[in-house]
Structures are given as structure tokens and as C-alpha cells.
A = this chain, B = another copy of it.
């Protein structure tokens, strides 16, 4: 930066000013500086900038799994939005472990980030303390309800999603229901959908739906196996809600193999509205959570914080809701 200043015949503070508020520098000086930057191929050092300004332009994002299409979508839209404001995304994934998450949060904080974005409302006690103490804005995403957020939250109620699924089946007159999920003990949001499903069915006076849980990650393979289990059970089900479209896809595949007609013999519902869901056989009825909307809303909140305008109490929780997408599978 000194080199640039020298070459442009100004002081380094003028260059610094030019870089942040170009309008505050005279046109003549701007010319010279721009030229010098160009000639020297100067790239500002954001590390030094972050130190001097006591706060870097980094946003730490911690998700359970980046392989998961839901979070990938959110991270993508978040990154796009933040990049437009010169904010960088630092990514970590906890593999659904609270312990790993805590370690990630610790490192994240060490970067004096502009904000930290977490997935879900459940974190270790130590993590909550770390976050509550530091003056860093924290946004929890992809979950609402249950407990109060640390600071801000963007998401929706998973119990409500489960309830929507139950109501949809009840309206069609189904009475024998099941919920098919994977890793329900680790994925608390999926578990909340299952609970919401069961609770709503009960409230509507239906027999208690069964929850079938697969120990492996949510894949089509797991879905296929889950369907096998469901069919093997003494009381066959009329309708199954899956915790994820990938599981629903596996169910569809396995139904085809076994010759069970969907939705004739069995109604199937997914969650996520993934890219293949509209074109499967039959097209999948599912619930869309809008991962990219979540990303955009999180970005909006972060930008507000960065610009000094701390959102009011009322604006600190945004519910992105969910949408039932009725197609042919149930």
C-alpha cells in the first residue's frame, strides 16, 4: 500500500480512504491511485485490514453437512448474497456432532467474524456461552420453535411440517400412517418433523403413526430398505411421510420393484422438493422448505448488522414457512 501511495504521489492513508470511500478523494488523486494500483497489481491485505478495523469481513457458517442438498442450497445463496457486499464465507461442517460444532465455533470466533451462522437451535452449553459472550451477531437457521435463539434466527417449524403432512393424509381419509426417517437420533430437525407428524395425527383422532428409523444417512438406499420394513410390518400402511425426498425416492423405487402402486396401494410424501422430485414416477408430493430463501434472509440480517443497523427485537426472528407441493404420489 505504501508502494501504491508513493507511486501515486500521495500518502498511504489517502490510498486507504480511496479504497473504502472513493468519493471522499479528489478525482485527480483517484486517477493517480487507480493507475498505481493497476500498475503494481496491488491486492489489499484483508488480514491487516481486519486487524486494524477490529473486525474482519468474514462470516462463519457452520452446517451439519455440506453434502446435504438443503444446506448446500442455503450456503450457495448466502455466499452469493454476501459476496456482493464483499463478505467472505468461511465454512465448517459438524457432521451432526455438538462437540465438533463447539470446536468449529471456537475457531470461527478466533477470526473475529462479522457474524456467525449456525444450523439449528441446539448447541452445547459451552458453545452458547462462547457465543453469548462475544459481541458477534449470531444467526441460527433452519429451525424455529422449541427454544429461544441465542440472538437471531431464520427458519421454520419442523413440527409444523410434520403436522402439515399428517393433515394432508388425514384429509384423504388415510388412517394407517407411518413416518420414515434416517438418523433421527442425530438429526433433531428430522426428529421434530416426525414428532409433529405423530402429534397431529393423534390430535385428529387417528391411530398413532409408527416411526421407522434407519441408522444410516438419509439416502435412496435407506428409503428402499425402510419401505421393506414398512411392508413387512403386520399392519400395512396406507401412507408414509418421509423425512427427506431422497428417502421418498428410495421408497418409490422399492414400491416399483414390489409392484405396490403409488399412490393406489400406498401414498408417499417427501420433504425438500429436490431437483428430481417433480419428474419421478409418479411425481413426488412433498413439502418445500426454501433453502435459498433462508440463505437470502440470513444474508439480509447479516448485512443489516454489518451496516450498524442492529435489527429490532421484532425483526430478529424470521419465519420462512413451508409449502405443500401436491403432486401425484399421495
Contact = CB atoms under 8 A, between A and B. Distances in A.
Interface of A: 41, 43-48, 50-51, 56, 58, 65-67, 69, 72-73, 75-76, 79-80, 83, 86, 88-93, 95, 103-104, 106-107, 109-112, 129-130, 133-134, 219-221, 224, 246, 249-250, 253-254, 256-257, 275-276, 278-281
Closest 9 CB pairs between A and B?
A220-B276, A46-B110, A219-B275, A91-B91, A47-B50, A66-B76, A220-B279, A221-B279, A47-B51
Given A47-B56, A72-B66, A41 B133 contact: yes
B256 A45 contact: no
Contacts of A280: 220, 253
Number of copies of this chain that the complex holds: 2
Contacts of A275: 219-221, 246
Given A66-B66, A250-B279, 12 more contacts: A47-B56, A47-B112, A67-B76, A80-B93, A88-B92, A89-B91, A89-B92, A219-B275, A220-B276, A221-B278, A257-B281, A276-B276
A43 B276 contact: no
Nearest to A75: B66
**Chain A facing B: main interface SS:** helix
A25 to B, nearest CB: 20
A227 to B, nearest CB: 11
A93 B79 CA distance: 8
B224 A253 contact: no
Contacts of A134: 43
A141 to B, nearest CB: 16
A173 to B, nearest CB: 28
Contacts of A69: 67, 69
Given A220-B280, A276-B246, A75 B91 contact: yes
A32 B140 CA distance: 36
Contacts of A249: 276
A52 to B, nearest CB: 9
